Amino acid sequence: MFETEKAPADNSRTMSVARIYDYLLGGSNHREIDRQAAEQIKLLFPELEDWAWCNRGFHQRAARWLTSELGISQFLDIGSGLPTQNNTHEVVQAINPAARVVYVDNDPMVAEQATKLLQGVDGTVFIPGDLRDSDSVFSNPELRQLIDFSEPVGLLMTAVVHFVSDKSDPWRLVARCLDKLSSGSYLVLSQGTYDKQTPEVVDRATTLYQNANEQLYPRGKAEVERFFEGLELLPPYEGAKPGVTFGGLWGAEDPELADDDASRALYAGVARKP
Ligand SMILES: C[S@@+](CC[C@H](N)C(=O)[O-])C[C@H]1O[C@@H](n2cnc3c(N)ncnc32)[C@H](O)[C@@H]1O
């Protein structure tokens, strides 16, 4: 059994990080308790919805880039979230209809919705699983049927590692997943940051998430860069040096326009495994 930050609580009275995110993205799978938490955070950080869209936009731009420019045709999307419009398989299969996507999430409601939605969709599967127990995820027969580990994989971990505490060592957990992938695979990772936020915003958000199924651990830039140790970071946009950047800037056509308060609450990077 892997280590969890908190014992699972009664689902009806516990906020779910997946449902809060769904609410922010305009979905329909959320409860009053999730909406209230989001609205409480918005009182201090009105850009919260823009932040969610900024993160989702990064996820989609990076998946598209890996498919169209780098020829990646198989993806592992860990912490995939509730199915939204333009989910990963829709983005990558629009470019390469033969692309395969394995979705993984530890929220039972995500599992229920995603399994229904993906029924009959070629090249996709949903697997209930936890980043803190990647050995079970990687040994899943359905995953192994879809992913060829002798070929490069796009490992998508967007807005998920900030739900794993330092105590559980998310850096080791990410490295453990990468160890299983071949050279030429890519890590796409984003994480919420406190670097440009007031202590009040950070305190409000982390306190509210104490009542959620997963707690929130925002991090600084150096801690986010640690996720990419030993990898070759890509330049986030044309003319930039390789590195981790604020979320909206990655893949931006006009980085100046993309630089806003929502973007500055998210770090993002894409890197190749040598
Ligand atoms: C904010 S959503 C991000 C969804 C999607 N990756 C995106 O960026 O649009 C975070 C998702 O990670 C899932 N999650 C949180 N901790 C997890 C863990 N330890 N293992 C697997 N999934 C996790 C949540 O259930 C939720 O669906």
Give the model confidence (pLDDT) of 250-268 as tens digits. Answer: 999 999 999 999 999 999 9
- pLDDT tens digit string along 75-99? 999 999 987 778 999 999 999 999 9
Q: Which of 17, 76, 134, 177 to mutate to test the pocket of ligand 1 (most atoms within 8 A of CB)?
A: 17
160 lines ligand 1 (CB under 6 A): yes
189 lines ligand 1 (CB under 6 A): no
Residue 218 to residues 32, 128, 135, 143, 199: CA-CA distances in angstroms?
A: 24, 25, 26, 30, 12
22 lines ligand 1 (CB under 6 A): no
CA-nearest residue, atom 8 of ligand 1: 158
Letter for the amino acid at 268?
A
Q: Which residues of the chain have pLDDT under 70?
A: 1-12
Residue 142: per-residue pLDDT: 96
**Rama region for 123: left / alpha / beta (φ>0; ψ in -120 to 50; rest):** left
**Would you say 273 and 185 are in contact if contact means Cβ atoms under 8 Å apart?**
yes
CA-nearest residue, atom 20 of ligand 1: 130
For ligand 1, the distance from its centroid to the CA atom of residue 218, given in whole angstroms, is 14
Residue 13: per-residue pLDDT: 77
Neighbours of 119 (CB within 10 A): 9
Average model confidence (pLDDT) across the chain: 94
For ligand 1, the distance from its centroid to the CA atom of residue 37, given in whole angstroms, is 17
CA-nearest residue, atom 13 of ligand 1: 79
**Rama region for 81: left / alpha / beta (φ>0; ψ in -120 to 50; rest):** left
CA-nearest residue, atom 23 of ligand 1: 79
187 lines ligand 1 (CB under 6 A): no
Residue 2: per-residue pLDDT: 39
CA–CA separation, 1 and 130 (whole Å): 11
pTM above 0.85, yes or no: yes
| Domain segments of the chain as ranges | 17-272
Give which of 183, 186, 255 is closest to 227, Cα–Cα: 186
Residue 85: per-residue pLDDT: 78
CA–CA separation, 235 and 241 (whole Å): 5
Ligand 1 atom closest to the CA of 21, numbered from 1: 1
CA-nearest residue, atom 14 of ligand 1: 79
CA angle at 208 for the pair 207 and 212, rounded to the nearest 5° = 115
Give which of 44, 4, 268, 270 is closest to 159, Cα–Cα: 268
18 lines ligand 1 (CB under 6 A): yes
- pLDDT tens digit string along 137-160? 999 999 999 999 999 999 999 999
60 lines ligand 1 (CB under 6 A): no
The domain 17-272 having CATH identifier 3.40.50.150: the answer here is: yes
80 lines ligand 1 (CB under 6 A): yes
79 lines ligand 1 (CB under 6 A): yes
**Rama region for 204: left / alpha / beta (φ>0; ψ in -120 to 50; rest):** alpha
81 lines ligand 1 (CB under 6 A): yes
